[in-house]
């Protein structure tokens, strides 16, 4: 992995994608997932030592995950709708004869060959602001029957909090909001990325409050299973904790509070709605 990281650190990229490359914890998890999948299929290697499988990387950016896949598979296609970053990906991967970079909006593509492996990097917490949800759903028709998707699953956890800010916001390396967790974490959603994603989420969350406090928000933390045995996130550029305000109430230890939470995955934070029940 060390030599591979050294190479991608020299990739041409945008400032944003440069930050993604520096998140080595995230990169290592995806590299391990891709290489592990390849190891399961090494009996299919051709004379060049590559596995005869078709791989699609949806939203490939500067081509980092495409590069990982190209080390193992005979046909790798990276899709990127941003023409500038697609140009960088083409330059970064120009030495690979088994790689094709397509500068198109994947939602407009039809009639593609079916893929054996789809890589679709889901970066956003709870997939709320994640455009890749729409892309992955669109590619349902372009999957072989035994197609594998990396990542495998997304698990969403939520905690009741008393927080200072009264708007939707994230926590990251540069910003640490003031808040206090006032109840136990619960896993409220498990998303299987191997099948079509229901983009609309709505459920009533029930919290057991464990201290006298002011309840006015919830904190969502997302854990991603790259494969079933490879867990990733949150990392500096992957699934940052998300804070969502709710109507403020005073609670006592032992109280139970119910909140209806709804949003559209891929629809953005503007779709988030909360209601005390």
Residues 267 and 163 both lie in one domain: yes
Question: Are 165 and 266 in the same domain?
Answer: yes
- Whether residue 269 contacts residue 262, with contact meaning beta carbons closer than 8 Å, is answered with no
pLDDT of residue 8: 74
Q: How confident is the model at residue 17 (pLDDT cuts 50, 70, 90)?
A: confident
| CATH code (residue 22) | 3.40.50.150
What pLDDT, on the 0 to 100 scale, is given for residue 221? Answer: 97
What one-character-per-residue DSSP string does 154-210 give? EEEEEEEEEES--S-EE-BTTB---EEE-B--EEEEEEETTS----EEEEEEEEEB-
Quick check: is 130 in a domain? no
Which comes out higher in pLDDT, residue 2 or 186? 186
Q: Mean pLDDT, to the nearest integer, of 160-166?
A: 97
Whether 147 maps to a domain, the answer reads: no
Checking if the pLDDT of 2 tops 60, the result is no
Tokens 């909360």 locate to 274
Q: Is residue 49 part of a domain?
A: yes
The answer on pLDDT for 21 being more than 90 is no
Residue 51 lies in a domain: yes
Q: Are residues 7 and 100 in the same domain?
A: yes
* Shared-domain flag, residues 259 and 181: yes
Q: Quick check: 169 pLDDT over 60?
A: yes
pLDDT at 125 (0 to 100): 97
Asked if residue 161 and residue 107 are part of one domain, the reply reads no
Helix (H) or strand (E) holding 3: helix 2-8
Task: Point out the least confidently predicted range of 17-21, 95-99, 116-120.
Answer: 17-21
pLDDT the model gives residue 206: 98
pLDDT at 1: 60
168 pLDDT higher than 90: yes
What residue has token string 């023409």? 83
Single residue among 97, 119, 141 that ends a domain in this structure: 119
Mean per-residue pLDDT over the chain, rounded: 94
Across the chain, the runs of DSSP E, i.e. the strands, are 51-58, 73-79, 99-102, 115-119, 143-150, 153-163, 169-170, 179-181, 186-192, 200-208, 213-227, 230-232, 242-251, 256-264, 273-276
Residue at a domain's end among 119, 141, 175: 119
| Residue 31 to residue 29: CA distance in whole angstroms | 5
Judge if 28 and 110 occupy the same domain.
yes
What's the token pair of residue 127?
């997939």
Say if residues 149 and 212 touch (Cβ distance below 8 Å): no
Does residue 200 register a pLDDT over 90? yes
Q: Is position 63 within any domain? A: yes
Tell whether 132 is covered by a domain. no
Residue 203's domain is classified under what CATH number? 2.70.160.11
Which positions ≥6 away from 230 have C-beta within 8 Å?
29, 32, 33, 36
Number of Cβ within a 10 Å radius of residue 90: 18
**Chain position carrying tokens 């991608």:** 8
Q: Is position 148 within any domain? A: no
Same domain, 198 and 243: yes
Domain identity same for 83 and 188: no
109/162 same-domain check: no
pLDDT (0 to 100) of residue 9: 65
18 plus 106 within the same structural domain: yes
Write down how long the chain is. 277
pLDDT band at 210 (very low <50, low <70, confident <90, very high): very high
Q: Say whether both 107 and 194 belong to one domain.
A: no
Q: What tens digit of pLDDT does each residue of 47-77 get?
A: 999 999 999 999 999 999 999 999 999 999 9
| Total number of domains constituting the chain | 2
Residue 251 structural domain? 154-276
pLDDT band of residue 249 (cuts 50, 70, 90) is very high
pLDDT confidence tier of residue 174, bands split at 50, 70 and 90: confident
Same domain, 110 and 158: no
């Amino acid at each position: 992995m060390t030599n591979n990281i050294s190479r991608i650190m020299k990739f041409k990229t945008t400032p944003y994608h440069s930050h993604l490359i520096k998140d080595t914890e995230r990169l290592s998890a995806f590299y391990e997932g891709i290489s592990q999948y390849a190891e399961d299929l090494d009996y299919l290697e051709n004379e060049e030592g590559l596995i005869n499988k078709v791989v699609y990387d949806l939203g490939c950016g500067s081509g980092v995950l495409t590069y990982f896949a190209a080390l193992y598979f005979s046909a790798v296609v990276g899709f990127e709708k941003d023409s500038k970053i697609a140009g960088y990906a083409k330059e970064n991967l120009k030495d690979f004869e088994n790689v094709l970079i397509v500068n198109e909006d994947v939602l407009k593509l039809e009639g593609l060959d079916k893929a054996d492996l789809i890589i679709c990097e889901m970066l956003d917490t709870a997939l709320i602001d994640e455009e890749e949800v729409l892309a992955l759903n669109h590619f349902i028709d372009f999957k072989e029957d035994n197609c594998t998707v990396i990542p495998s699953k997304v698990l969403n956890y939520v905690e009741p909090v008393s927080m200072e800010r009264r708007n939707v916001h994230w926590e990251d390396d540069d910003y640490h909001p003031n808040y206090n967790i006032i109840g136990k974490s619960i896993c409220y959603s498990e998303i299987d990325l191997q099948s079509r994603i229901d983009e609309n989420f709505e459920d009533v969350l029930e919290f057991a409050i464990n201290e006298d406090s002011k309840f006015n928000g919830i904190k969502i933390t997302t854990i991603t299973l790259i494969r079933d045995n490879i867990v990733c996130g949150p990392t500096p550029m992957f699934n940052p904790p998300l804070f969502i305000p709710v109507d403020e109430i005073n609670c006592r230890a032992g109280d139970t509070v119910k909140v209806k939470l709804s949003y559209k995955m891929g629809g953005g934070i503007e779709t988030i709605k909360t209601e005390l029940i």
